[in-house]
Copies of this chain bind each other. A is one copy, B any other.
Amino acid sequence: MAKLNMVQAINLALHEKMKHDDDVVVLGEDVGVDEGVFRVTAGLLNEYGEKRVIDTPLAESGIIGTSIGMALGGMKPVCEMQFSGFSYLIMHQLEGHASRMRQRSLGAWNVPLVVRMPYGGGIRAMEHHSESREAFYAHIPGIKTVIPSSPRNARALLISAIEDPDPVIFMEPKRSYRAFREEVPDEMERMEIGKAQIVRKGSDITVISWGAMMRPVIKAVEESEKELNAKIELIDMLTVSPLDDAAIVESVRKTGRVVVVQEAPKNVSISSEIVARINDKALLYLEAPVKRVTNYDVVTPYFSREMDFMPSPGRIKRAIKETIEF
């Protein structure tokens, strides 16, 4: 067991899979010599050479399009979008090919690739470096969208993503990259894609979140438990599509009260779908409206204003209190 931060943990997963599977290659902008702008791909080029760790030309559609070809050719590309804010350049290849190849060919072809991308705000970065647009990917059938929240689950989920038979969008909360360390087991660990994790058991209210928001959420939950003398159930979605609504529904049936916290703007987002699933499957158990704590439906602000818009522990606590007291 070593205490790793998320960058190290993701790096570990890449090393582990590359070591044991020659078909795994890493490609993207600055992933080789530079070891990634966040150093997530550190040591890979050195260890596995230029053929397996490819510094590509600056072209996102090129990266995903050739990755699709590699996957069809029997390889397992793990490609990187340098920031999720540049991943909109690959939407046509994702919607049009990666997500469809299996179904359009009734299983004759498949595209097992992983697209890693740091996402989210809070690191005082320039425009386009702080979005949280998982909703785009979640709306595409045939694609899985995974968002880890800690070093340990990031490593385990990435291992599973690389082994997954389908295209997986792997969104890395860059704000959490170096924010904290966690024990990560020595042996290779996997976590099932499409499964949420109950991080904390409780009976008074369910708080649901994922990715970078888990940190402020945990703080808010811990403080709220004390301040409100409440037992809070906390769910970390980990995969936002396909959505583990069973975990949500089971919890809601118990607590009857829900707060969903997300970094993305509210309109047509994962939080919308979570509310809709609760409506579909557990409406009668609700004792209060599901409360959504999200970004606002404005353009992602430049960095000096961004924290004003980001759900804060204070705002989350107020939402918890309001929902418990409803």
Residue numbers of A with Cβ under 8 A of B are 85-86, 88-89, 91-92, 94-96, 99-100, 103-104, 127-128, 131, 133, 135-136, 138-139, 141-142, 241-243, 264-265, 267-273, 275-276, 278-280, 283-284, 286, 288-290, 292, 297-299, 302
Contact = CB atoms under 8 A, between A and B. Distances in A.
Nearest to A297: B141
A135 B268 contact: yes
Contact of A141 (B92, B136, B267, B279): B267
A287 to B, nearest CB: 10
Given A136-B139, A142-B299, A279-B289, A241 B267 contact: yes
A167 to B, nearest CB: 12
B283 A99 contact: no
A273 B283 contact: no
27 contacts: A85-B96, A88-B92, A91-B91, A91-B136, A95-B131, A95-B133, A96-B128, A99-B299, A135-B135, A135-B268, A139-B264, A141-B265, A141-B297, A142-B298, A142-B299, A242-B267, A268-B272, A272-B272, A272-B273, A272-B275, A275-B275, A276-B290, A276-B292, A278-B279, A279-B289, A280-B292, A284-B289
B104 A299 contact: yes
Nearest to A103: B299
A242 B268 CA distance: 10
Contact of A276 (B127, B139, B272): B272
List of 9 A-B pairs having minimum Cβ-Cβ separation, nearest first? A88-B91, A88-B92, A275-B276, A272-B272, A272-B276, A103-B299, A283-B289, A91-B91, A138-B268
A88 B96 contact: yes
B139 A302 contact: no
Contacts of A286: 283
A140 B241 CA distance: 19
A142 B301 CA distance: 12
Contacts of A280: 275, 289, 292
A92 B83 CA distance: 13
A103 B298 contact: yes
A105 to B, nearest CB: 11
A299 B139 CA distance: 11
Given A91-B89, A133-B139, A299-B142, A279 B290 contact: yes
A41 to B, nearest CB: 24
A138 B267 contact: yes
A141 B297 CA distance: 6
